[in-house]
Amino acid sequence: MNHDELIKALYDETLLGNAPRVLELTNTAIESGMGPDTILFDALIPSLEEVGARFERGDYFVPEMLIAGKAMSGALNVLRPLLAETGAASIGTYVMGTVKGDVHDIGKNLVNIMLEGAGFTVIDIGVQAPPEKFIAAIREHKPDIVGMSAFLTTTMPMFKVNIHEITKAGLRDEVIIMVGGAPVTQEYADAVGADGYAADASTAVRLAKDLIKKRRSLVPA
Amino acid sequence: MHTVLRSATKTVTIGHDQPFCIIGERINPTGRKQFQLQLRANDLSRLAIDVEQQVSGGADVLDVNMGVPLTDEPALLGRAITMIQTLTDLPICIDSSIIEALQVGLETYQGKALVNSMTGEEDRMDQILPLIKKHGAVIIALPNDATGIPMTVAERMTITEKIVRTVEKYGIPLEDLVIDPLAMPVGADPDSLKVTLETIHSIREKWGLNMTLGASNVSFGLPYRHAINAAFLPAAMSHGLTSAVMDARTPLIVEAVRAADLLLGLDPWGSNWITRFRALEASKAALNTGA
């Protein structure tokens, strides 16, 4: 396979969620001398973008998105150390968790897939994450964004609790905070003092990129 | 084991020897933007349509959830229950995870209510079970705890055991306990419903308890959800599920349940099935003649 054929095969097999084949092709591409950033930015990310677009249009369904995400994650496990060596920058770090009292993880996982697919480094702190866990993850990973997911009207108030605790820990200015989940609305996100809300995974990724851009333009690195 | 629910005038019995109990899921603002806006404006008029559609669709009980963010849920739930009890004589399943809302709901409700739900966490049980006992209501309990949703039958059985012991400790008869064995979307985990079906079977074998679950959840994220829901319910019934919070408005799903009643010996000689058929034919004929 030449360069273009490899890129196309990686793109196509990721789109189909064929994890073993994507892993195999990733290894083949590396052995052939292809740069890890090329694999990521020319094949995997465009493929996941297409997955997201199809999902948004209603042409792709939850299981298809999940297996595409798994295929991409398998490739990323191989690429991550190589990307670190070449110094290719992640477009941002995102700490993500479902709030305390809430065990729903499908929506969170879909957003994680799309974020990884867009080139973010995602730290998933799981479900039932208490404020302490969000704070510890902020201290450890120094993310650009913290994402909080809640599926129940009764667990949504944890957004406010978490934001309060993050503020008390002196970390509120360090991070952008995004919230989401089935019952969440823009109005609710504003009421709890979040910086962003998105109704679906693709919108969340676009918003995450915009918020980081805006922040970096305000605070010159 | 017979779990009895009552409105002011009507009794519904849930049991392994009874036709399946269909609990209509529709009165719930989650995912219904327009309905949410109405509820936040204190406009309950939509309830009349939701009640009518589910009653005519074949619901035996109506679930009532008023979980709208940034509202006074207990007050809203109390008003909704009062209104629904003037619209139908079906018993109600009071659905909230806010204790105060359950309290107002139980104080408002006329009859013996079903309450949805509590987990196996001790503090939740200690808050909710005294209310259940005081009002003589029936509680739905989920075998999960603070650590999340267990993905093995053994773990779900362990938590169910803890729930059974706690319910007994409060002096509540086991007839007034209904277990929700947890059904997760099959699109997110291909094997999770096998765990659900096996849990249903084990709970039936060990305690003979009545069970319910949120049946529409299984098809989340997939196309043709109605067909998946219609296939899942008979499978769950054959393992020992005795009720479900489900879509009572889609004929395919309700018919799958009623056909399973017949096939599983819960509708002897098909009398319910035939009566339903005749009613449908009669309404079709009435439409055709323009009556």
Residue A89 token pair: 């920058």
* Contact list, B192 vs chain A (CB under 8 Å): none
Residue A88 token pair: 């290719």
Residue B79 token pair: 């008003």
| Amino acid A105: pLDDT | 86
* Whether residue A139 is found in the same domain as residue A51: no
| pLDDT confidence tier of residue B148, bands split at 50, 70 and 90 | confident
- Residues 26 to 55 of B: which have CB under 8 A from any A CB? 30-31
Total of domains in chain B: 1
Question: Which residue range is the domain that position B174 belongs to?
Answer: 3-288
- % residues pLDDT > 90 (chain B): 90
* Whether residue A69 is found in the same domain as residue A121: no
Residue B72 phi, psi (nearest 5)? -90, 85
B65 → chain A, closest CA residue: A153
* Whether residue A175 is found in the same domain as residue A135: yes
Helix (H) or strand (E) holding A98: strand A93-98
Question: Which residue range is the domain that position A161 belongs to?
Answer: 93-218
**What's the CATH code of the domain at A113?**
3.40.50.280
A103 → chain B, closest CA residue: B148
Whether residue B103 has pLDDT greater than 70: yes
| Amino acid A83: pLDDT | 83
- Mean pLDDT estimate for chain A: 92
- Tokens 């503020």 belong to residue: A167
Residue in A102, A75, A63, A56 with CA at minimum distance from that of residue A13: A75
Interface test with B, best of A54, A61, A62, A186 (most B CBs within 10 A): A62
B14 pairs with which residues across the strands? B3
Under an 8 A CB cutoff, do A182 and B222 touch?
no
Using an 8 Å Cβ cutoff, are B24 and B243 in contact? no
What is the rounded average pLDDT of the residues B17-38? 95
Compute the distance between CA of residue A96 and CA of residue A102 in angstroms, rounded to an integer: 14
Amino acid at B268: P
Amino acid at B30: T
Total of domains in chain A: 2
| Amino acid A220: pLDDT | 61
Pick the range with the lowest mean pLDDT from A11-25, A75-89, B121-135, B193-207.
A75-89
Using an 8 Å Cβ cutoff, are B109 and B92 in contact? yes
Of A89-103, A118-132, B192-206, the range with the highest mean pLDDT is B192-206
B68 → chain A, closest CA residue: A153
Q: Which residue among A127, A182, A188 places its CB closest to the CB of B31? A: A182
Residue A182 token pair: 């089935």
Domain boundary among A86, A106, A129: A86
On whether any CB of chain B is under 8 Å from the CB of A171, the answer is: no
C-alpha angle B61-B62-B65 in degrees, rounded to nearest 5: 145
* Contact list, A106 vs chain B (CB under 8 Å): 185, 188, 220-221
* Whether residue A45 is found in the same domain as residue A130: no
* Whether residue A114 is found in the same domain as residue A32: no
How far is A61 from chain B, CA to nearest CA, in Å? Answer: 6
Please write the tens of the pLDDT for every residue from A65-110: 999 999 998 999 999 888 877 766 678 999 999 999 888 888 899 8
Please write the tens of the pLDDT for every residue from B224-269: 999 999 999 999 999 999 999 999 999 999 999 999 999 999 999 9
* Whether residue A111 is found in the same domain as residue A64: no
Q: What is the torsion angle, in degrees rounded to the nearest 10, for the CA atoms of residue B140, residue B146, residue B147 and residue B152?
A: -10
On whether any CB of chain B is under 8 Å from the CB of A199, the answer is: no
| Amino acid B291: pLDDT | 52
Whether residue B156 has pLDDT greater than 60: yes
Compute the distance between CA of residue B164 and CA of residue B152 in angstroms, rounded to an integer: 19
Domain boundary among A53, A86, A119: A86
On whether any CB of chain B is under 8 Å from the CB of A86, the answer is: no
**What's the CATH code of the domain at A57?**
1.10.1240.10
A97 pairs with which residues across the strands? A148
* Whether residue A81 is found in the same domain as residue A133: no
Under an 8 A CB cutoff, do B220 and A62 touch?
yes
- Give Cα B177 distance to the centre of its chain: 13
* Whether residue A103 is found in the same domain as residue A207: yes
Residue A19 phi, psi (nearest 5)? -60, -45
Whether residue A112 has pLDDT greater than 80: yes
On whether any CB of chain A is under 8 Å from the CB of B220, the answer is: yes
* Whether residue A116 is found in the same domain as residue A35: no
Is the overall model pTM greater than 0.80, yes or no?
yes
| pLDDT confidence tier of residue B290, bands split at 50, 70 and 90 | low
| Amino acid B97: pLDDT | 87
* Whether residue A81 is found in the same domain as residue A104: no
| Amino acid B283: pLDDT | 86
What is the rounded average pLDDT of the residues A146-172? 94
Using an 8 Å Cβ cutoff, are A205 and A52 in contact? yes
Domain boundary among A60, A86, A112: A86
* Whether residue A73 is found in the same domain as residue A129: no
**What's the CATH code of the domain at B253?**
3.20.20.20
- Mean pLDDT estimate for chain B: 95
What is the rounded average pLDDT of the residues B178-193? 94
Whether residue A56 has pLDDT greater than 90: no
Q: Which residue among A61, A103, A152 places its CB closest to the CB of B221? A: A61
On whether any CB of chain A is under 8 Å from the CB of B290, the answer is: no
